[in-house]
Amino acid sequence: MSNNSGIAGLSDKEEKVLELVREHWPVSALEIAEHFNEDISSREHKKRHSTNYSYYLKKLISKRVVLSKRIGNALIVWPLEVEAYRAIHSIIRGEQ
């Protein structure tokens, strides 16, 4: 198991999903499935792939690597580092 993200205990699939989340945030499970060229042409395929990638997103959430929010039925995630950007932005806005 390679560990390119610097986070211990991630599987290869979790690594790939995390890298995609870091590149294209905020992102949902179906958007991740699209990126990995999964067949989402029918409702059944969408449901299967959404469930599959939601599983990996929930694992990343539980490991506190990404943050999440539900919008309707969609689980939207973004990297934890974004919260640091948000804090920096609020500090800069407060100084002006």
Residue 22, exposed/middle/buried by CB under 10 A (0-12, 13-18, 19+)? Answer: middle
pLDDT at 29: 93
Paired tokens of 41:
């042409």
pLDDT at 96: 53
pLDDT at 23: 92
pLDDT at 1: 43
pTM: 0.77
In order along its 96 residues, the chain shows pLDDT tens digits of: 445 656 778 889 999 999 999 999 899 999 999 999 999 899 999 999 999 999 999 999 999 999 999 999 889 999 988 888 888 888 888 865
Class of domain 12-95: mainly alpha
Q: Are the C-beta atoms of 28 and 57 separated by less than 8 Å?
A: no
